[in-house]
């Protein structure tokens, strides 16, 4: 089987729109939409290949780019290694320099287009932010003021975690939170069953993930279009998350953490090795702060998740 290393780019303009291109009908996976890019040539670095491909295909010059997600996909006749970068700044007017149709679309519009199977995790990664806040156990006043500060700081994805509450208390609190901020950010809820609110996602514990996968016929418990996430701590759980078709995962702990002081940290090298084999957007967590965000990106992660590392100070 042929092995091909392909560079691809999620390119954003000043309005945060994303550029997609249509594959020629005569090409492999012809007629489908894709994220622009092309093959890594012998002797090229990844960044050099990305610059060359986008110059040739779109007539633009990259100013700022960073790794977004790495994927492997087997077709009947070839093995594709997809190396995807996010381009946040470029020079020139992007156009189909090779005659291919191109479109600028909003993140929310991406699911409306047909992409090759290998591109589906990229569609998800392009819609997710690089910070995933998990709320600390605290009283209602501290929680509400903290969420307000987090949203003001640019946080877009929040897991509502309040382990001190019973199920009824948690459900009542989540209703208040969603009524106040549900239209501004995406909330991932916890619990023994999927949340009923259509504008929320569900974050599974590792135990819930294992239980669902071990069913005689594992079925994704939320419809596509609503985020489903899972907490993972090793390669086996990452594989389970792929089997259940979750949208994204957290992988922890990367470093020692006060929340779970007895947990053996994975370390950066082990986390990077796991991410090379994982097809899902992954947030690394455990002892991480914004200072490690760039390191997480270059390890192959979507970004970082955390409680203490992301919870905004009241000062």
Contact residues for 275 (Cβ-Cβ < 8 A; gap 6+): 70, 251, 282, 299, 300, 301
Residue 16 is given by DSSP the state -
- Residues annotated in a binding site for 8-oxo-dGTP: 23, 28, 34-37, 119
The rounded distance, in Å, linking the Cα atoms of 102 and 9 is: 13
Residue 120 burial (C-beta neighbours within 10 Å; 0-12, 13-18, 19+): middle
Closest of 68, 71, 89 to residue 80, by C-alpha: 71
Residues 91/116, Cβ–Cβ less than 8 Å: no
Contact 61, 74 (CB under 8 A): no
**Residues at the annotated binding site?**
23, 28, 34-37, 57, 119
User: Residues within the annotated binding site for Mg(2+)?
Assistant: 37, 57
Sequence-ordered strand ranges (E) for the chain = 2-11, 18-22, 33-34, 37-39, 61-74, 78-91, 102-105, 131-134, 157-160, 186-189, 200-204, 228-232, 248-251, 282-284, 303-306
Count CA within 13 A, CB hemisphere, residue 216.
0
DSSP 3-state percent helix, strand, coil across the chain (nearest 5): 30, 25, 45
Distance CA 294, CA 290 (A): 8
Q: Rounded to whole angstroms, how far apart are CA atoms 42 and 221? A: 44
Question: Do the beta carbons of residue 56 and residue 136 sit within 8 Å?
Answer: no
CA distance 143 to 151: 12
Tokens 């609190």 belong to which residue?
Answer: 173
């Amino acid at each position: 089987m042929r092995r091909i290393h392909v560079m691809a780019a999620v390119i954003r303009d000043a309005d945060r729109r994303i550029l997609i291109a249509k594959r020629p009908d005569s090409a492999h996976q012809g007629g489908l939409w894709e994220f622009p890019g092309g093959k890594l040539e012998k002797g090229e670095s990844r960044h050099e290949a990305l610059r060359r491909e986008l110059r040739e295909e779109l007539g633009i010059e990259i100013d700022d780019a960073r790794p977004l997600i790495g994927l492997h996909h087997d077709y009947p006749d070839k093995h594709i290694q997809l190396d995807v970068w996010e381009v946040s700044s470029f020079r020139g007017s992007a156009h189909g320099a090779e005659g291919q149709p191109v479109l600028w679309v909003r993140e929310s519009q991406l699911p409306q287009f047909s992409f090759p199977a290998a591109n589906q995790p990229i569609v998800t990664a392009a819609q997710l932010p690089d910070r995933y806040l998990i709320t600390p156990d605290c009283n209602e006043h501290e929680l509400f003021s903290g969420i307000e500060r987090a949203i003001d700081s640019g946080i877009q994805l929040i897991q509502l975690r309040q382990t001190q509450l019973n199920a009824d208390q948690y459900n009542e609190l989540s209703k208040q939170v969603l009524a106040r901020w549900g239209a501004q950010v995406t909330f991932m809820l916890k619990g023994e069953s999927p949340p009923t609110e259509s504008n929320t996602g569900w974050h599974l514990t590792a135990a819930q993930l294992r239980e669902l996968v071990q069913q005689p016929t594992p079925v994704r418990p939320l419809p596509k279009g609503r985020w489903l996430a899972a907490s993972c701590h090793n390669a086996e759980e990452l594989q389970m998350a792929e089997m259940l078709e979750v949208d994204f995962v957290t992988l922890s702990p990367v470093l020692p953490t006060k929340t779970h002081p007895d947990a053996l940290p994975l370390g950066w090298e082990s986390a990077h090795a796991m991410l090379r084999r994982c097809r899902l957007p992954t947030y690394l967590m455990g002892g991480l702060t914004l200072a490690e965000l760039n390191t997480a990106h270059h390890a192959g992660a979507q970004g970082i998740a955390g409680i203490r590392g992301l919870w905004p100070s009241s000062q």
